[in-house]
Structure 1
């Protein structure tokens, strides 16, 4: 019998996880769920070393762990991105890696508009004004209707954002490595998008080609009243350059849910030193519905792999 180790919490009650596992796998595997975070690399190894299959979310899973897991045959990653996985070593070891693409499409795309509206309607400043006994004076906001909305990356989440932006009455521009013929967006080059859009929302994976994609040069193209939203991956944006243009008032604001590392971020982080930002601790995927959905996909990945018909293969 295969042994499955869920090496970190998945944000779903243990009873629900075990129910999903039983429904998907029956008696094909023994499932162990660790519903507390591991204390360090040694504990991750201890939870993994006897497993044939490991299920994890966004915890770093590097060679120094994998090489101690001689039985490991499959990783079911309860996440969309896999930049925290040592993919080259998994390929060397012929370890199957599957992700949970699509589980957070709704959650992330809805967060984008929470952040946009938070900036446009100055929600944090409004909250503080009420607490301080002040009025709405100086808190005039903006409407989304009629704004030029730029989407960088038209994968599933980018297209969902486009659909929501259309519902708000925005004009949609997009830049993407792969263009979708039926996307209903106006594709332009990245420089044009950065220059003409009032809102720029990032939806690209982290690759060697996208790291630092939004740098000082690209930020300098943005309009003074434009805002930047990043719910993709932190290193896609040069944080130092973004902090600089925000401090100088060269763009109106930014909202980010992702950083160069998982929060907590260091007190010295440049974006903590500016006022016209909204910062969230990587909550884009974190809704009750999305977390249950990804658990279902993670075990369906295992079921399909055991059946010889793997899905969501990276």
Structure 2
């Protein structure tokens, strides 16, 4: 079997071993593939693995020998699954490989807003502590999480882990999900209550027509002025101009984001100039442990296909 990996660098920039995939066939690995390189590189492949490379109908129609597409991610909107199905191509994805890592990043963003550890460290190394007249100082308000209310929009694998961490911090946890069910320690509420009662609103829901731009001017206006928004889900869950305006005008106190509506962001994205906004470059999923797990699961998906029993199909 010929296996082509079209954008391997994202999953493995050099710190992992491709062995789980290599043992399944003859493998060609490309760190990145431009759109006009895809057909030539994937020609003759039985299987391709991709992370964010777009495989459109026009491209798939030029790959008559392709039998399998393994997405090395959970999201698969970069694949024309209808075209894949009509061409007899199996498409699989990998789920729940990074839940613990994303939950951890959620709190990394929150603690960055609450404690500003990096800002204070930079201040120390800039000589401000050595020059201080006092034994300590702080450059921004410091906030204790205990007793605060964490409001979760979405309560799947990641949201549930975020809830447990919040409870360990002594926070109260309320959550909204489309089909609620009782969860010990968590109060299930309506969406309006999330915005009205929460000190922290954290997004962990899928991107649907209902949830698209759920963070918008109307809902932001319902929030407490000292509240913050966190997004480690999908960028389009937020109306970015509305959030930037809310941050500039003090409608809410801050935002911690790992995702944006366009990635990489355009230079004119309003959040890049917004105050009290911490942004990381979509790294919540990318711990070494999560990527190692992802590679193993992607290999298991491919092996199951080779054996004639495909799993985790999305086509």
Q: TM-score, normalised by structure 2?
A: 0.90
Q: Are positions 1:5 and 2:4 aligned together?
A: yes
Q: CA deviation at 1:83?
A: 2.2
Matches within 5 A, 1:203-222: 203-222=204-223
Superposed CA offset, 1:245-269 (max 9, x none): 0000010000111111222x22211
Aligned-residue RMSD, C-alpha: 1.9
8 Å Cα contact 2:120/2:138 also seen in 1? no
Q: Are positions 1:58 and 2:57 aligned together?
A: no
The residue that corresponds to 1:159 in the other structure is 160
- Following the alignment from structure 1 to structure 2, what is the Cα–Cα distance between the partners of residues 121 and 261? 28
The residue that corresponds to 1:168 in the other structure is 169
Deviates more, 1:289-298 or 1:202-211: 202-211
The residue that corresponds to 1:287 in the other structure is 287
- Following the alignment from structure 1 to structure 2, what is the Cα–Cα distance between the partners of residues 183 and 108? 22
Deviates more, 1:8-17 or 1:243-252: 8-17
Matched positions, count: 305
Q: CA deviation at 1:80?
A: 1.2
CA distance 1:138–1:33, change in 2 (3 Å): closer
Q: CA deviation at 1:77?
A: 0.8
Q: TM-score, normalised by structure 1?
A: 0.90
- Following the alignment from structure 1 to structure 2, what is the Cα–Cα distance between the partners of residues 22 and 253? 45
Unpaired segments ≥5 residues, structure 2: 130-136
Look up the SS of the partner of 1:111 in the other structure.
Answer: helix
8 Å Cα contact 2:4/2:41 also seen in 1? yes
Look up the SS of the partner of 2:69 in the other structure.
Answer: strand
Look up the SS of the partner of 2:44 in the other structure.
Answer: coil
Unpaired segments ≥5 residues, structure 1: none
Q: CA deviation at 1:66?
A: 2.2
- Following the alignment from structure 1 to structure 2, what is the Cα–Cα distance between the partners of residues 227 and 118? 11
Q: CA deviation at 1:15?
A: 7.4
- Following the alignment from structure 2 to structure 1, what is the Cα–Cα distance between the partners of residues 42 and 26? 13
The residue that corresponds to 1:33 in the other structure is 29
- Following the alignment from structure 2 to structure 1, what is the Cα–Cα distance between the partners of residues 118 and 304? 46
The residue that corresponds to 2:105 in the other structure is 111
8 Å Cα contact 1:81/1:205 also seen in 2? no
- Following the alignment from structure 2 to structure 1, what is the Cα–Cα distance between the partners of residues 85 and 313? 12
